[in-house]
Structure 1
Amino acid sequence: MRNWFKHLFGKKQDHFARLDSRAFPHFAPGSVWLVGAGPGDPGLMSLHAFYALGQADVIVYDALVGEEILTYANPRAELHYAGKRGGKPSPKQNDISLKLIEWAKQNKRVLRLKGGDPFMFGRGGEESETLHNAGVKFRIVPGITAGIGGLAYAGIPATHRDTNQAVIFLTGHDETGNVPQAVDWHAVATAAPVIVMYMAVKHLPSIAQKLVEGGRNPQDKVGIVSNATLPHQSLMVTQLGEAGEFVQQNEVPTPAIVVVGPVVDYAKILNWQDKD
């Protein structure tokens, strides 16, 4: 399904030549582009993101940026992994930001490549603020966030006129790796018919309990979309009151997006990949 991308841009050695640089913003030496690579499928990258990959001197990429996306990188670029995955040794955020500044001040074109969208639980705001304070020029290139695009690949609309006029996006852990303490779970529980959660599988037992205690219907459907938009994407469905036990008894692949609410039922008829 994703082969069209390589077909469109040709072989690795010439696909950047197919892009007219005059149609894109100038990626100036000494600047940093913070770019969203989308939820995984390379075809969901924006053309700005694709162009930046071919222009960058240094590429600093996250754990959710797939190897196939990196095949479109400038072959002369330095690649630096800066991924953070729960429970594993990870580079510190401050160290990443300082390296971006260092490379920019060496007059390099620095690409900070993030899965999804830089400003949706991607800490792009923090990195941009640090760059601003250091006097480094930067550009933000939005990406398709998994909480929308990943659900769509599973046939789950984040909103549907018949079910919800509001949706809540939240993260399943804070900077300490624990359930977010700053979230008013009682208020969130009934604030919108649909809740979309990033990085929530590990703490789903606790989160589900908090939502039910806050007044959420324990029979609400829960969809877990793993490896969204990739060939090995999967969807698991349970109920909120059983979600904790479900993830404890089943091996749920991660990364995953968790969605709570009536839109989960649309996967039965809107899972377009099964119709290919």
Structure 2
Amino acid sequence: MFVSFVSSGPGDPDLLTVKAARLISQADAILFDDLSSGPILALARADADLVGVGKRAGRVSPKQDQVSRLLVDYAKSGQRVVRLKSGDSGMFGRLEEEIEACRAAGIAYEIVPGVSSPFAAAAAAGIPLSRRLTARRVQFVTGADITGGMPPDLNLKALADPLATTVIFMGKRTFAALSSELVKAGLPPDTPAMLAESVSTPDQRITRSTVADLGAALAQAHDGPALILLGPLME
């Protein structure tokens, strides 16, 4: 009994690791997130079981315990199982819950890292995420808690650091409230900001703005995955 937690990257099959592509092509069953579908699944065998278990905000999605139970059931059947997770599987992807389910069932597993969307977004925008003297720290944060609202325990002082690159996952709905709190915490309203949508896919769109003005860009955002990046390098 074995599960491979495979990171699919931001969506472009060319950004898969060699190991990820090999495991996908060999799998008997692939339980995949929405953002891992499309051309990446074209690498799967024609006879492989492909099971969508992704979660998307505002849409009917399987509960986490259902996903974990399904994963365990497939692994116990003796099949080669890939749990295909978008971006890097360890970044805001509920990997820990699924690992715990495997451990409780006595199922061995491996984690295959992948390209996380912040790195793909920076590459698409033609910028680094760090810079000596002016952007010496990079911080990742989720803009939504389990209710979909802004997490109440964010370290606003750290997030308001104008000399850091801040990457906000799942922040489209809460950025208006979050940006207001960041400005109150000392972040200048004219701090450069960037909205990166559907990175590495044909629908990719990069919009540069400021913390104060990014709300207008968010109002025009696509219904798809997006990151918000703040900091001096977003100009």
Length-normalised TM-score, structure 2: 0.95
Distance 1:251 1:244 in 2: 10
Correspondence for 2:204 = 233
Q: What is the aligned counterpart of 1:255 among 204, 225, 229?
A: 225
Correspondence for 2:80 = 109
Distance 2:111 2:221 in 1: 36
Distance 1:247 1:210 in 2: 17
SS at match of 1:101: helix
**1:208-232 CA-partner distances (Å, limit 9, x unpaired):** 1111111111100110011101122
Equivalent pairs, count = 235
SS at match of 1:202: coil
Q: How does 1:1-276 map onto structure 2 within 5 Å?
A: 30-190=1-161, 193-248=164-219, 250-265=220-235
Correspondence for 1:21 = none
CA contact (8 A) 2:162 2:191 kept: no
SS at match of 1:241: coil
Distance 2:70 2:99 in 1: 13
Higher strand share: 2
CA contact (8 A) 1:196 1:257 kept: yes
**1:13-66 CA-partner distances (Å, limit 9, x unpaired):** xxxxxxxxxxxxxxxxx2100010011110100111101111111100001113
Distance 1:235 1:245 in 2: 14
Distance 1:134 1:64 in 2: 27
Correspondence for 1:269 = none
Q: Which moved more, 1:113-122 or 1:180-189?
A: 180-189
**1:67-114 CA-partner distances (Å, limit 9, x unpaired):** 100000021110000111111111111110111111111111111001
**Paired amino acid for 1:129:** E
**Paired amino acid for 2:52:** Y
Length-normalised TM-score, structure 1: 0.81
SS at match of 2:168: strand
Structure 1 runs of 4+ aligned residues shifted over 4 Å read: none
CA contact (8 A) 1:61 1:82 kept: yes
CA contact (8 A) 1:167 1:193 kept: yes
Could you say what the CA RMSD is over the residues aligned between the two structures, in angstroms? 1.5
Structure 2 residues not aligned, in runs of 5+: none
Distance 1:252 1:74 in 2: 32
CA contact (8 A) 1:227 1:253 kept: no
| Pair 81,65 (structure 1): closer, same or farther in 2 beyond 3 Å | same
Structure 1 residues not aligned, in runs of 5+: 1-29, 266-276
Distance 1:227 1:162 in 2: 30
CA contact (8 A) 2:162 2:232 kept: no
Give 1:159 deviation, angstroms.
1.2
Distance 2:35 2:222 in 1: 17
**Paired amino acid for 1:184:** N
Larger Rg: 1
Distance 2:94 2:153 in 1: 17
Taking every aligned residue pair, what percent have the same amino acid on both sides?
A: 35
